[in-house]
Amino acid sequence: MIQVFKQVNVDWLANRRLFIGVSILIMLAGLGSAVFRQWKHPNGTEAFNLGVDFKGGTVVTVKFKQRPSAEAIRDALISHGAKDVVIQPVTDKPDLALIKLPLEGAGEGESQAQLERGRARVKDGLNSFGPEGDAYEIVGTDAVGAVAGAQLRNKAIAVTMAALVGILVYIAFRFEWTYGAAAVIAVFHDLLVTLGMFSIFQWEVSLTVIAALLTLVGFSVNDTIVVFDRIRENRRLHRRESLYKITNDSINQTLSRTVITSGLVFLSVLAMVVFGGEVLRGFSLALTVGIVFGTYSSVAIASPIMVWWEQRLEAANRIGALGAARKGVPATGSPARRETVSAPVRKRSREAGQA
């Protein structure tokens, strides 16, 4: 039997301050990059390098017979009046290039005219390399007006938020709301870290990146749930153990699964980065970063927060029970007994009743 880990006995929770500190640092770096870019616009960059899906504009995919250099294409287009044009040669296809044009000027009603103008300029510029159909061929066009861009952007944010709420509700229903909250905080952390990376490295945020972020939400919660499931089970088996020890044990017991699964998913996502082509690049990049941090956060963020929260609740319960006893009101049980009837156990007894 080949095993990744034989017997692991790591005190994960002891390092919680370090973990959370590192995460906060990474998040701050991302936030700093976003705020700084939004504010100062170094080299014309913004908080996020939004694709045409969200910002409006045109992307023309051109297939050249003999692809000129990016500079030559840019010069040809600029001499025909195109402004702020970005040429992106496709790395795995030597004859393809993407030409990206922002919307010209502001004003919502004008978006159609703006798109038409942009496209006309691209054609004019490209004609300097030879006639269409001979020297080059336009194989794809994505043109999004300002209205549609804003609409897609709002929708993407709304969908992500709604999905997070849905997950919170489900976990709260299956476990306890503290577990749900801890899982959602961890997922939120993953989203922020990934978005931070997109801001720092100025990777393009397109519609497929949103799909990747939502997948990431699913995967990250998966990892967290696997650990939480084990905690719930272990609490039932070892009622006398502290939550601290049980959580550490649970993380250690599920560690080989966590590493194997994340590793495999990481490999299939890596296959997408390498072979998936230009269109899926943003998607696969978001997932590569997300998988790493999603796995990390279920161990380093979700569990410590859940333990901290549960301990606080139990402490509050104990004080409440003591106070009630002092006032002469009969308490429902001794503090020690209350501890075993704390959060996750209640649910368990209900399940047992149904079985």
Partner 1 sequence: MKKKNLLQRIIIIAVVTLVGLYTVIGPRRRPTLKDFTWSGIKANLASNIRLGLDLKGGSHLVMRVKTDQFLKSLTEGNALAIANAAKDAGFAPKDVKTETAGNYKITLEVEDPSKLSEIDAAVKKKVDLSDWSSSPSGNTVTWTLNSTAQRTLAEQATEQAQRIIESRLNAVGVAEPLVQRHGAQSSHQILVQMPGIQDPERVKQLLSAESRLDLVHVVSPPSPAPVQTYNTEEEAKTSLGGTVPANRHVLPYSERNEPTTAGQKTPEDQKPKKWVVVEYPAVVGGNELRNASATQSRAGGNEYQITFSFKPTGAEKFGAWTGANINQYMGVVLNDEVKSIAYIKSQIFDQGEISGRFTKESAEDLALTLRSGALPAPIEYLEERTVGPSLGADSIRSGVRASVFGLLFVVAFMLFYYRGAGINAVVALLLNMILMLAALIIFEATLTLPGIAGIILTIGMAVDSNVLIFERIREELRTGKTIPSAIEQGFARAFVTIIDTHVTTIISSLFLFVFGTGPLRGFAVTLVLGLLINLFSAVYVSRTIFMWELSRKRRVESLSI
Q: What is the DSSP letter of 271?
A: H
Q: Which of residues 131-150 bind partner 1 (CB under 8 A)?
A: 137-145, 147-148
2 torsion bin: left (phi>0), alpha (psi -120 to 50), beta (else): beta
Using the minimum distance from each CB to partner 1, give the nearer residue, 160 or 202. 160
Q: Which stretch binds partner 1 (CB under 8 A): 29-37, 190-198, 222-230, 314-322?
A: 222-230
With binding defined as CB under 8 A, does residue 349 bind partner 1?
Answer: no
Decide: 128 and 41 in contact? Cβ < 8 Å.
no
Nearer to partner 1, 174 or 338 (CB): 174
158 binds partner 1 (CB under 8 A): yes
- For 45, residues 6+ apart whose C-beta sits below 8 A from its C-beta are 37, 202
Which residues inside 198-217 make contact with partner 1, applying CB under 8 A?
207-208, 210-211, 214-215, 217
- Does the footprint of partner 1 cover residue 251 (CB under 8 A)? no
Site membership for partner 1, residue 2 (CB under 8 A):
yes
Q: Please state, in angstroms and rounded to a whole number, the distance separating the CA atoms of residues 180 and 176.
A: 6
236 binds partner 1 (CB under 8 A): no
Helix ranges (DSSP H) in 175-206: 177-201
| 246 touching partner 1, by CB under 8 A | no
Nearest to partner 1 of 34, 126 (CB atom):
126
Kindly tell me which of 37 and 232 has the beta carbon lying closer to partner 1: 232
Give, for 289, the enclosing helix (H) or strand (E).
Answer: helix 281-297
Q: Which of 91, 148, 133, 119 is nearest to 279 (CA)?
A: 91
93/346 with CB nearer partner 1: 93
Helix %, strand %, coil % of the chain (to 5):
70, 10, 20
Tokens of 153: 């952007």
Q: Which is nearer to partner 1, 34 or 296 (CB)?
A: 296
Q: Distance between CA atoms of 284 and 111, rounded to whole angstroms?
A: 31
User: With binding defined as CB under 8 A, does residue 1 bind partner 1?
Assistant: yes
Query: Does 265 help bind partner 1 (rule: CB under 8 A)?
Result: yes
Query: Is 89 an interacting residue with respect to partner 1 (CB under 8 A)?
Result: no
